[in-house]
Structure 1
Amino acid sequence: SKRFFFNLSVMGQGNQTVVKEFVLAGLSQTPVGQAALFVLFLSFYVLTWVGNALIMVTVASEARLHSSPMYFLLGNLSFLDLCYSSVTTPKLLVDFLAENKLISYGQCVVQLFFLHVIGAAEMFLLTVMAYDRYVAICRPLHYTTIMNRGICCVLVIASWMGGFVHSLVQTILTVRLPFCGPNQVDNFFCDVPPVIKLACTDTFVIELLMVSNSGLISTSCFVVLISSYAAILVKIRTKEGRSKALSTCGSHLMVVTLFFGPCIFIYARPFSTFSVDKLVSVSYNVITPMLNPLIYTLRNKEVKSAMRKVWTQY
């Protein structure tokens, strides 16, 4: 079993060995627990697809929403949520039914790369959405000029490009490390913190670089987001106006808290392991993409009305 567990392959330079595949720790080791979790997480994944796809279809079908910068960005957020959830959840579902939770080195690197591309792109997009709300509330007369369709498209593309550059740095730093065993990743997917712990070399400098990269992005975006909402509240003098602004931005604040809180906890600290890391990972990988559509639809009468209209048409 040890031979199977480590599954190391000799690569021809003395006694040096190189890991060809990793073993994922998963979320449960008992058959009953895995079966129950499979049903639960399959339900989460289906709800994620249904909710986010419904928002995308609604925004695309309803001209009034499609022409609005806020809902155009919301449709892109739903697309990112679908992509983000699909990076890890399908593999997790397969592993619930498998005796051995294996992932090849190449698949691990690909999963890590797309996780950070989409995750960072979503952070940047949420920041753009906060700026959109700031312009809408604080500069309403210039809103359509500042946040026109061309600018919105540029900001969405910039979010993706920022995510790509961030992830490229993370991935290059990871693949340059030597892995010669052990090969058990202490999570249900491949991410930078648990993977680089398996490197058979000193990773102190690499950890600092990666923390400064991921931690700086997540913390900086979060500070910008909070600052934009604080500026909105300062700008609006009346109690009624502040109440209306909070109602308008409330959904966005909930999404920001659910997404950035776990990300800052995982990435803005040295790569030490805590017992709650897996639960935190489940939160921003599985739960948040599922809750985002519910948060936006339950608190937004305009979206609910448009969804009912689309539903009756089909």
Structure 2
Amino acid sequence: MGNESGLAVEVGGQLRGSLKSSAKHPTELGALIALGDDELRRVGRALANAPVVDPASIAYLPPVTNPAKIICVGLNYADHTRESPYEQPDYPTLFPRFATSLIGHGQPLVRPLVSDSLDFEGEMVAVIGRGGRHISRARALEHVAGYSIFNDGSVREYQFKSPQWTVGKNFDGTGAFGPVFVTSDELPAGGRGLRLETRLNGVVVQSATTDDMLFDVAEVIAVVSEAITLAPGDVIVTGTPAGIGWARTPRLLMRAGDICEVEIEGIGLLRNPVIDEKRVIGVAA
């Protein structure tokens, strides 16, 4: 609201929350998660009794606004690998995203000036609650605070310019994230068995279940933590199923004026319009 951030929960179809200036707790979800499960639940109960927030008066931020790490998993659905130019790997294909690429629900996905190949990828997110290194697969889900939704907007021309995909996955304004964070106790273990659907202008373009992931959330956490210490608020983007626009004939890519939605059963709906990047030309005074 205005230029002030806040935190809200959904209760009976209404948002209830508080602004940073009046809250007695962190209003940045990543900072709150770092305080532990008990504090996260306590604040959730307090927010459930906070004043009602008018959705029309707010702009949504990503649930975690500045995560220390955003680790994405590529080629994690066999049907998506089959439509790609790659062989199915037997080890997770990992790549980073950066917080500068993130946008919230309702904010525009930006098709960059240098390419017309902005593609959609609906994905489930796992947010780390308890950090660690060398986390066993058997204990990995104990380290998950909750789940959210991601649209891994991919600039395909740049993704395929080199063997690694970092640039094509990190253009500003291409990583839609949110709007909700659902604690892990509200969903099946590991977010398993949830229907994921991506729609472009109301037409279903991706439909799968998270059971189809080749490397599930527990396996990804175990593999990543062999090398990298995970921290509270870190974000793991778990991969996309088949149906991407680049693999279609003719190709179906996002254009200015389009609306892209990603919906995951039990979590919610992420909706973003698409705009073209504006060229800014500096002039002397």
| Higher strand fraction (1 or 2) | 2
TM-score with structure 2 length normalisation? 0.24
TM-score with structure 1 length normalisation? 0.22
- Rg larger in structure: 1
